[in-house]
Amino acid sequence: MSDKYAIYNWDEENIGYCQKVWLENDESSRQHLKIYEFRKNPEYTPVPKLDRINLGILDTYGSVIGYYDFPIKRVLQPEGAASFAENGDWELLVHTYEQVSRTRRILEMWDLLRDPDLRQTGLWVDFTLEERKIWQTVVRTYALQTNSWRNQGLEGITIHLDGRLITDQYAFFLMLGEQLNGPAGYYGSSLDAMDDCLCGDFGPVPPFTVIWSHYQYMENNQLLQRQNQNGYTMLKVIQTAISILDNHGVTIIRQ
């Protein structure tokens, strides 16, 4: 069985590997990270105190496809041991930047990208709105870590967008990224990020063509027309994105 995670210190030194991690709150809402089946890297020299770790997500070939950062407050188990000085199971008191449930979901989503032969487009279609936000973060990290830009630098390609599936702005950016850069592809997750991608180094470059089927269906979607607290709608974000694409020489054919 191949390892699922590699553990690194803040200096990017490999500490070791493990098969499973689990994050949970205790009764005081403190965050516990449990690491199972840890195997120490024999070349790593343990230090008395480790302030944080980077959890490297490994694919089925052992390559790192992403990271998640955990600042460490204290080693709980084994008691009194220098951080990762021995093989076995470990339990750490940590800090996370997200709610525990959200962090768990992030790690679950990374499992969808582990096998390069099984990666596919449209995994996000049945996600909730919140899950699509998380998936955007995951695919962005994946793309930047693996440098996986399909058709890098090519001009003149044609892609297809389906307006029936664009029910929020996150769906738009996710579908655009996949059409331009393949499964789990990334081409920006905001207007500024998309504008950066259009300038090069992140896949195809303009001019290219977008054939947008069921465009009217998207424009009439009531969910896209709801205003947020700042008075903006998701439809307005998408329309602004279309203007940016047009200004960069992208041809959009609405069907």
Q: Given this model, what pLDDT does residue 1 score?
A: 61
Flag whether pLDDT at 124 surpasses 90. yes
Distance CA 15, CA 43 (A): 8
Q: Given this model, what pLDDT does residue 231 score?
A: 78
> Locate tokens 């009531």: which residue?
222
Flag whether pLDDT at 94 surpasses 70. yes
What phi and psi values does residue 240 have, to the nearest 5 degrees? -65, -40
Note the pTM of the prediction, 2 decimals: 0.92
Residues 6+ apart with CB under 8 A from 80: none
**Prior bond to 207 cis, omega within 30?**
yes
What percent of the chain is predicted at pLDDT more than 90? 86
Average pLDDT, the chain: 94
Flag whether pLDDT at 230 surpasses 90. no
Average pLDDT over residues 151-168: 94
Average pLDDT over residues 232-247: 95
Nearest to 5 by CA among 84, 78, 77, 82: 84
